């Protein structure tokens, strides 16, 4: 993928989540059914990072299940982080911190502590990162945050398998691109709530996840389908980090202290 195309797709998604943050968050306040399946992988108390946390509905879910611990929510959208911060006020058993950070760019993980988190969540994130090599790098960087024997938990949309989601697919020409400009598995979805918007998405497969896990030194514990009206909108993958790896440049400062990240308390 040409760098200019990648930047155009990133700008498209940034614009979407800035302009439609309120209406988007309004459709995503309840816990996903798949969250219940993930509870055995979350210790109590926990130290967790929620990559692409959005409005922090995962945090609310953990609070409702009476879990306690330390939670870091990371997202690029300041409007969504503002909503997440308000949600955190309703979860007294969890100490929550928020960081504005662009997860689509390399080396974002250097702003967070390495080999520290019991579990790192990246729910509905990977399919918004354009470029195969950048999705691979994301999994590797996310894995670097997890302690040995901890978990990286992914979820991605299975929109090609559901009729109502396939109807959201629109031609690339809507944003001035051609199919040859993007990679196999890349799609453009529309949004028709409080206006018209578009989002870049990649349809992630089980084979892709297995390859990313192997490259990052992770073991695939399980995959399963859940969520949505049909009960199978999302593909979940639970990946375990079995052994520590030596890495240079381990985190030594305060999260958000770099110019690349803005801490939102």
Residue 183 belongs to a domain: no
pLDDT digits (tens, 9 = 90+) for 164-191: 888 899 999 999 999 999 999 999 998 7
The CATH number that applies at residue 227 is 3.40.50.150
Q: How many angstroms separate the CA atoms of 210 and 105, rounded?
A: 22
Q: Is residue 115 part of a domain?
A: yes
- For 139, other C-beta atoms within 10 Å of its C-beta total 24
Residue 99: pLDDT band (50, 70, 90) is very high
Q: How many CB atoms lie within 10 A of CB 90?
A: 11
How many domains in the chain?
1
Token readout for 178 is 């051609």
Give tens-digit pLDDT for 72-89. Answer: 999 998 888 999 999 999
Residue 84: which domain range?
A: 3-160+203-242
| Domain annotation covers residue 38 | yes
User: pTM value?
Assistant: 0.86
Q: Does residue 265 form part of some domain? A: no
Which residue carries 């702003």 as its tokens?
A: 111
Q: Is residue 254 part of a domain?
A: no
């Amino acid at each position: 993928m040409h760098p200019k195309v990648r930047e155009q797709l990133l700008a498209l998604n940034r614009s979407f989540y800035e302009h439609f943050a309120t209406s988007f968050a309004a459709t995503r306040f309840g816990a996903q059914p798949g969250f219940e399946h993930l509870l055995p992988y979350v210790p109590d108390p926990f130290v967790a990072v929620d990559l692409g946390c959005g409005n922090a509905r995962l945090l609310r879910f953990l609070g409702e299940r009476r879990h306690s611990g330390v939670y870091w929510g990371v997202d690029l959208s300041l409007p969504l982080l503002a909503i997440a911060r308000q949600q955190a006020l309703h979860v007294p058993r969890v100490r929550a911190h928020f960081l504005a950070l662009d997860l689509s760019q390399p080396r974002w993980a250097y702003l967070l502590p390495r080999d520290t988190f019991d579990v790192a969540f990246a729910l509905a994130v990977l399919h918004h990162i354009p470029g195969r090599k950048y999705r691979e790098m994301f999994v590797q960087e996310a894995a670097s945050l997890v302690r040995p024997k901890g978990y990286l938990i992914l979820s991605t949309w299975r929109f090609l398998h559901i009729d109502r989601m396939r109807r959201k697919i629109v031609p690339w020409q809507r944003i001035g691109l051609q199919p040859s400009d993007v990679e196999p598995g890349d799609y453009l979805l529309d949004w028709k709530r409080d206006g018209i918007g578009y989002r870049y998405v990649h349809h992630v497969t089980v084979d892709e996840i297995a390859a990313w896990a192997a490259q990052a030194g992770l073991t695939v514990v399980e995959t399963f389908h859940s969520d949505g009206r049909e009960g199978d909108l999302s593909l979940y993958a639970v990946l375990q980090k079995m052994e520590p790896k030596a890495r240079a440049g381990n985190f030594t400062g305060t999260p958000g202290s770099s110019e690349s990240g803005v801490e939102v308390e």
